[in-house]
Every structure is written in structure tokens, then in C-alpha cells.
Amino acid sequence: MPDRKVLTNRQGHPVYDNQNQRTVGARGPATLENYQFLEKVSHFDRERIPERVVHARGVTAYGYFEAYGAWGEEPIERHTRAKLFQERGRRTEVAVRFSTVIGGRDSSEAARDPRGFAVKFYTEDGNWDLVGNNLGVFFIRDAIKFPDVIHALKPDPVTFEQQPRRIFDFMSQTPESMHMLVNLFSPRGIPADYRHMQGFGVNTYKWINGEGRSVLVKYHWMPKQGVRSMTAEDAANVQAGSLGHATKDLYEAVERGEYPEWELLVQMMDDHDHPELDFDPLDDTKTWPEQDFPPRAVGRMVLDRMPENFFAENEQISFGTGVLVDGLDFSDDKMLVGRTFSYSDTQRHRVGPNYLQLPVNQAKHAEVRTNQRDGRMTYHVDGGGQNPIVNYEPSVMGGLHEADYPTHDEQGPEIRGRLTRKRIPRTNDYLQAGQRYLLLEDWEREDLVKNLVGQLSQCERPVQERMVWHFLLVENDLGLRVGEGLGITPDDVLGLEPLPNQNLTEEDRERLGKLG
């Protein structure tokens, strides 16, 4: 006999007929007290929650992070007291969600789009989320511009079509986006799948050691499988067969026992503003030169299990940049601060105010004891003190009390300044974009130029001219080639004034002078 169990409704009542609703006579009408039918359909009516406003399409996988216990040759504790990094071989469970950014939940995974690379570490000190992307930098450096950059990249609000004229209209007025654009329109802009891509924390964070000393850090994930990308033609072919090839690839690889693996590398610098550098260490449109700040491996991550329920574990999983553990900290990076507000805010709206009670989001290796109560979909009462009526603090009747203050107080930099609204002084928008361009192989440069010309030919002339002007500042060769594809010469654009929102460096001005 097959093992078949009796169907019930959510009240535990057996369902005797799941094919016919209750009606007066075989041909109806139906009655309003039709509890079983109404429950079933009204629950179905609510099956969807809002999809993520960005990164809607994605896939979760589980595995572990294994620490090396050292930063290069040095014991890691010299730089961070975060427990998960100590001792060689120490393992921490992780959940990872890979994603595209702009498309909806069922959109193509072969799109030219940054990829999300979000890792939740379930540590004994509570959860740590490292929410990154595959390109290492971002379009903007101040969180106040995030809704604008996303609106420009999302479909046109009238025709619901993604439009290069809107994207480059915005980018042409946003010089800090050039580094990201050189990456995004090169083959790296379409990773072959999720297993063959890098991940980067992008924003600058801090590590704090046992004495309270802080350093600035950036995180990098390097795939043991290697990096593979697709050209637009490859992507069109893949997309013709499936919109979800990367999710499928990950499920199938894990099923075959080919567990993907990444090494985590960390770059470090002293915690101050580094006036000697030609960029600001808190600027997420910049990378840190590897010769000066060598990335050192601190551990590896292996993914060996896929979710059993896509909705519960992929749609409801919730990451945020505010989710840090002892020994890790924020920097004043203006994007990071804005992101840290945005994630939990959207999750209270998207999943609900008790999203942290869901199994996939719970701090499963640390006890949770709060005086937070109630709210929609409360599933249980967070662990409390001995006295169940004391859901406040302080109290002499029991309840929870504060932890002892850490003996290692933090000694971050002292900051003084007036409240203001100013861009950072060292914007240097073109230098690293140009260096990146020069690092590309010939065929990658050709692909980049082709992709940019293809998109920009759909834009208005002033947008094309401004983009050629930017690209000439990025690297002559790039500006000339994109200009050639659009029928625009340097002479056509040299009269353009710098944008009001940009600081040109001496080198930028010299370059403009030479062009003239």
C-alpha cells in the first residue's frame, strides 16, 4: 500500500471532498458558510508576497565556511576577534543567495546585470550577513542616489521595457558610474552561471581585535571552479532555452556532488582617511590596489545542500548589511550606512515585522532573548527571563538584563565636522575605470565597445556625446572607439563643460587639454 495520509485543512479538520465545493443541489448555487472552500481559495489568493524591489530573481544554497585561522602568516586574532575566523578548521554553517538585480522573479538569468552574492553565516555569536556583488564596485557612492539609479535601470514605467536611453541618460550625469560600466558591459557583465563568478563585499567594513583596535577591510570571494562569462550572443542562446539556467546549474551540480567552493580573501588598511591615496578608502566605486593591499585568504566556503522549499528558503530569506557580529564593524562608507537602513526596512514590509522568527533567518546557533513582542505573524515568544510577565528592562522582578560591557572598548578614530551635504573630495572617477579597461584582453575590449555602442545607439545625441566625453577621460582608446561607433569625434565633445557634480583631477584636466 502506498503511504498516503489524510488531507486536512489548516484547522486539522479532515477533508472529505477536495473536488467539489458545497452547493445546493449538484448544479449550485454555492453557500457562504463553505469554510473549506473559502479557506483554500483565500489562502491561495495570498500566496505571493511582494517580490524584492531589487534582486527578485535568485537561488539559495547551504553549506559551510571553514576558517584558516590566519591572515597570511599572522594569526587572525591580531586583526579581528570575530570567533568564526579563529582556529584553523573551525566550521560555520552558511546560507548563500545568488541573484540578478533588475529583472522580476521569473526574469532571465542570462541578463547583463550585476549578480548578487549574499552570504549568511550562522555563528555562535548570532548571524553575520555579507551582502555583496560579483563586480567589486558599484554605480554610485551615496545611498541617497540608489532609488534613482534603480529607477533608471528598471523598465520604463509606461511601456515596461528596459531602455538604454533612460539608463545612459542617468549614467551620463553620474561620472562615478564609469568604473562599474566598464565592468558591466565587458563579458564580466554576464557570468556564465552562479558557480563561476567572484563575489565582493564592495563596501568597506572594519575588523576589531581584542584590544579594540580597528582596521578597514574589503572582502573577496574567489571561485575554485574559475571565472566564466558569456558574450551577448552566448547569453541569447542560453536564454532561448531557459530563463533559469543558473539556478538549474546550481541544483544539478549539488545533486551530482560537485560542491562549488569559494575562498574568502580580505584586504586590510589602517583605519584613517589615507590622504596619500588618490581615492577615498570609503568609496565603493573604487577597488584597493592589490600590490599595496594584498588580498589574503582567511577561509573557504563550500555549498553542499539545496533548499527543500523555494518559497520558505529563497523568497523569505532576508540579508542585511547591518547584521554583524562582535569583531566586525561598519565603516562610515555613505553607501553602507544607507544600505544598513534599507534592508531591514524593506524586509519588515516584504516579509513582515517578525521576519527574524522564520527558520531561515533565525540566529540558529545563538540564543535569542528579547523583549520584542507581538506584531503580525508572531510565531513564538523570544526567549525571556525567569519571570514571564517581565517583558521590559530594567526590573528587580526578573526578566532580561544587559550583557556585561565588553572589556575591549572600541577605539575607532575620533571624528569632528559640521553637518553638511557634500560629495567626498577625492572622487577620481576615471582613473580606475581606465586601468580596468587596460587590463582587459583584446577580445574583451572589443566586446565592451560593441556592447556600449549597441546600447548608446539607442540614446539621444546629447547622452551619446556626454558618454563619449566620459570615455575619453576614462581611456582615450575607449572614447575613440565608442565615438567611432556612434559617429562622434573628440572635436564634437570637447566643448562640453565638466558636470556641476564632479571634481576633475589634474590628470583629467591634462587629458582634456591634450584632446583639444
d(CA 29, CA 481): 71
Residue 34 CB, nearest distance to ligand HEM (Å)?
36
**The three cell numbers locating residue 503:** 571634481
DSSP H/E element including 247: helix 245-255
Residue nearer to ligand HEM on the CB measure, 64 or 98: 98
**The three cell numbers locating residue 250:** 546550481
Peptide bond into 2 cis (omega under 30): no
The answer to whether 274 is a known catalytic residue is no
Report if residue 143 touches ligand HEM, rule: CB under 6 A. Answer: yes
d(CA 178, CA 509): 17
Binding mask 275-304 for ligand HEM (x = CB under 6 A): ---------x--------------------
Q: What share of the chain is helix, strand, coil (3-state, %, to 5)?
A: 30, 15, 50
Among 62, 65, 138, 205, binds ligand HEM (CB under 6 A): 138
Among 37, 146, 259, 330, binds ligand HEM (CB under 6 A): 146
Among 78, 196, 350, 365, binds ligand HEM (CB under 6 A): 350
Residue 184 CB, nearest distance to ligand HEM (Å)?
13
Other Cβ atoms less than 10 A from the Cβ of 250: the count is: 21
The answer to whether 55 is a known catalytic residue is yes
Among 92, 99, 183, 432, binds ligand HEM (CB under 6 A): 99
Report if residue 199 touches ligand HEM, rule: CB under 6 A. Answer: no
Report if residue 116 touches ligand HEM, rule: CB under 6 A. Answer: yes
Q: Which stretch binds ligand HEM (CB under 6 A): 337-345, 393-401, 426-434, 474-482?
A: 337-345
Chain-centre distance for alpha carbon 403? 32
- 360: Cβ contacts below 8 Å, ≥ 6 apart: 60, 95, 312, 313, 316, 317
Q: Residue with CB nearest ligand HEM?
A: 116
Residue nearer to ligand HEM on the CB measure, 112 or 445: 112
Among 171, 202, 268, 504, binds ligand HEM (CB under 6 A): 202
Residue 180 CB, nearest distance to ligand HEM (Å)?
10
CB distance 479 to 454 below 8 Å:
no
Q: Which stretch binds ligand HEM (CB under 6 A): 28-36, 131-139, 175-183, 389-397?
A: 131-139
Backbone φ and ψ of 13, nearest 5°: -80, 135
Report if residue 236 touches ligand HEM, rule: CB under 6 A. Answer: no
d(CA 259, CA 358): 26
**The three cell numbers locating residue 246:** 543558473
d(CA 328, CA 207): 5
Q: How many residues does the chain have?
A: 516
* Binding stretches for ligand HEM (CB under 6 A): 52-55, 58, 97, 99, 116, 118, 131-133, 138, 143, 146, 202, 284, 317-319, 335, 338-339, 342-343, 346-347, 350
Residues with active-site annotation: 55, 133
